[in-house]
Amino acid sequence: MRERLRDARWPVLVPVLVYLALALSGASYSSIGIDQLRETPGEHSGLMLGTPLSERSDEWATSTPGLLRVMTTGSTDDLNPLTADEQFLNQLPGGPVSTVVLFDRWALQLGPWLPDQVLYSATLWLPMLLLALGVPAWFRRITGSSRVGWLAVALLVLSPLAVWWSFGPIASLGPLFVGCTALMKAQEASLARRTVPAVAWGAVSALFLARTLYAYPPWSVVFDVSVLATTVAFLLVPRVGRGRTAAVVAATGAATLAAIIAVVLENRATLTVLADTVYPGLRRSDGNPSALPDIFAAPVLGVLHDHPVIAASNASEVSSSFGLTLVWVAVLAAAAWRPAPRRHRVAILVLGATTALWFAWSTLALGTLASSIPLLNQVPQARAADVVGMLGVLLLCLVLPLLPDLGARRVAVASALATGATTAYAGSLLRLTSIPTISLMSIYVASLVVAVAVFLITFRPRRPYGYVVAVAGAALLVWNVNPLLFGLADLRGSTAADELLDEAPEVREDGGLWASDAFAVDSLLASSGIPSLSGRQLAGPERDAWTALDPDVDESVWNRGGAFVWFQWQDKPGIAMENPSPDVILVRASPCTLAERMPALETIVATRDLDMKCLQEVRRFDWGGAPRIVYDVTDGS
């Protein structure tokens, strides 16, 4: 018994210790060290290994400044009167139930008393910890071994999609697997007639499953449907105790549903505003199929770190997960498998069926039919294509334990040829359509590495060398994509940040407002807790405020979610608005006119000298490689 406890302890203890080390050191993979958020670009305060990603502006210009704002103010309230409440879209608690579900985000409000960098790192790394705790435990219960679970963790975390999207998919997968594993433990406790542990594990399951509501919906729907269906099917297969198992599943499902409903009710105002926006509004699938490189080209995407010219796209959008695992599993389906419990095979069948569903959804032209299929229509086909390779990784790791110790040479060769050829073809298409600078050498070397790893694993599934090649190859694709940053760069500790942090409490207490004409300054204002008209409008508009700002402009200009609100100062009186892109609301305004319509406006920040009666220069500071001029807004007398 003691040996079993020791074996079970290390898979928990090691990830927790690594997590604590990262959190306490203030380490993160954030790109806030980018030059745009530096007082003096090129002169980095603190320690940063690697290069920040300009493509991840959703992180360094939005989510991270928003989290730092909460730590600064000790509140989750938004500070822009133009925008509707945004707690839900910022993954911040908006009521008692969401406070429990988002316990780590609630803890950010302790920022006035605890180190900001520790709170930030603890929040950022939590999904990784949940993934490391949940995935191996889930696979151990289904396959009898957690080793394939660790392979799954590695291939999920190291997929180009995860890395180029600042590990966004992990924010869904981590809580999902902890929730499903907790459901399994609740069922085990119930069958052993241990009521209190069963209830406790059921509550943990409901809490983490409800948390997936906050993840990016198009990905979360794909993951939730597939992994939950597989888990429930696995639990319900045995006839012995099926009644108690069904009761546990039903009770946990009801608790999860109740928590989700409560969260929705707490955020109903935000969701109503978002649904009524012109952009993004209620998105539906457009019925257009995804191209093969969107699914199968991941092994050649090491080229993205060189920032090549990409036709009509960017590195994040081109990135994908390891879809080659789908081809691999298809070949292995024809192989001889070792005997396995029926519930293991049922798990493979259910996950295989849901994966096939999402693969078909990603690749078939469905036209207007796509928007009329419930649930599926919430997932744009391109977004399903993003993550279907992750389902392939999970399915592969369910199948690998059933391969014989000495695999059939023909199956190993067929698997290697199929996956290598698929990689070469997808890479060639990517070179033709999107990234013409990909060299033929890199395509064929990547294809060869894929073929070698697949052959070694298939032929000798109990030997480590094939897995080493696979994980090392995946790591080489992405190891230098995200930086490793210690601290919070110039958003804390710089002269500009310290001055704003000192001023912010008085500005908030007086009900004052600022505005700037540079989005890099907007990020600084947000992270410092300065109420500002410029910045992000994630959920949608506060209609009365926008109407007061300009009653004559068409509301389609400002009725947008997921948008940047940019100001451009002009010398002539008046206000004009336009949308340079669907997610930008550009306001061209005289600061004097703006102050007349928004009387709380006290201060503006400008990138050029302004000569107006209503403005009085206060000071200057450097930010993002340019001087910024701070003006107080007066009555002009």
Q: Is the pLDDT of residue 522 over 90?
A: yes
What mean pLDDT, rounded, does the chain reach? Answer: 93
Q: Is the pLDDT of residue 284 over 70?
A: no
Rounded-to-integer distance, Cα 483 and Cα 36, Å: 15
Q: Choose among 499, 609, 139: nearest CA to 348.
A: 139
Q: Is the pLDDT of residue 412 over 70?
A: yes
Report which residue type is found at 466: G
Predicted confidence at residue 372, as pLDDT, reads: 77
pLDDT tens-place string over residues 592-621: 999 999 999 999 999 999 999 999 999 999
Report which residue type is found at 414: A
The neighbouring-strand residues paired with 566 are: 586
| SS3 at position 486 | strand
Contacts of 134 (CB under 8 A, 6+ apart): 174, 176, 177, 178, 179, 180, 181
Burial class (CB in 10 A: 0-12, 13-18, 19+), 184: buried
Predicted confidence at residue 7, as pLDDT, reads: 53
Q: Is the pLDDT of residue 636 over 60?
A: no
pLDDT tens-place string over residues 69-103: 999 999 999 899 999 999 999 999 999 999 999 99
Predicted confidence at residue 2, as pLDDT, reads: 55
Q: Which residue has the tokens 């010398």?
A: 571
Rounded-to-integer distance, Cα 38 and Cα 291, Å: 39
Which tokens hold the place of 210?
A: 């409800």
Percent share of the chain, pLDDT over 90: 82
**C-alpha pair distances (Å), 306 with each of 97, 109, 315, 385, 437:** 44, 39, 10, 24, 10
**C-alpha pair distances (Å), 79 with each of 137, 505, 514, 537, 586:** 42, 12, 10, 11, 19
pLDDT tens-place string over residues 185-196: 999 999 999 999
Report which residue type is found at 155: L
Contacts of 513 (CB under 8 A, 6+ apart): 81, 531, 532, 533, 598, 600, 601, 602, 603
Rounded-to-integer distance, Cα 614 and Cα 636, Å: 4
Predicted confidence at residue 129, as pLDDT, reads: 98
Find the mean pLDDT for residues 165-171: 95
Q: Is the pLDDT of residue 637 over 50?
A: no
Read off the pTM.
0.94
Pairing of strands 513-516, 484-486: unpaired
Burial class (CB in 10 A: 0-12, 13-18, 19+), 199: middle
Q: Is the pLDDT of residue 1 over 60?
A: no
Indicate the domain borders of the chain: 1-30+84-275, 283-481, 492-633
| 271-280, 562-571, 572-581: least confidently modelled range | 271-280
Predicted confidence at residue 285, as pLDDT, reads: 63
Instruction: Report the residue count for the chain.
Output: 637
Q: Is the pLDDT of residue 275 over 60?
A: yes
Q: Which has more pLDDT, 551 or 420?
A: 420
Find the mean pLDDT for residues 115-121: 97
Q: Which has more pLDDT, 267 or 283?
A: 267
Q: Are 304 and 430 in contact (CB under 8 A)?
A: no
Percent share of the chain, pLDDT over 70: 97
